[in-house]
Amino acid sequence: MTLRLDLQANLWRITIENPSFNHTPSPASTHPIQRALELKHKKYKVDSALHLGRSTYQILVELRDADPGTALISRDIYNTRFKLNQLFLAGRTPIQALLMELPKDGL
């Protein structure tokens, strides 16, 4: 199947090139853009769970309990965890970040 823009009519046209080729749609988890969109909508929930110290497995179980059709995979959670860590470090080494954060906690 192809989708083309007809510039003269300013309409999209769908053409089925091989009608005998037929298969079920691929799962949404195989499409990174689909997962990115879903993660964008569930970002608060994932970020909150990460701040609470939950494991990737625990977060995925919670997400799948709430939405059995979720497309998110463990790599999405790992990547989110990495990005949050990079934001926290802000270019500092982990030891530098620790030494800067200890006074804030009153230690």
Domain map (residue ranges) of the chain = 28-105
Indicate the length of the chain as a whole number.
Answer: 107
Question: What CA–CA distance (Å, rounded) separates 67 from 88?
Answer: 30
* 59: number of Cβ within 10 Å: 23
pLDDT in tens, 11-44: 999 988 877 777 787 888 999 999 999 999 999 9
pTM above 0.85, yes or no: no
Interstrand relation of 2-6 and 11-15 (parallel, antiparallel or unpaired)? antiparallel
Q: What is the pLDDT of residue 80?
A: 97
> What are the tens digits of pLDDT across the range 76-104?
999 999 999 999 999 999 999 999 989 88
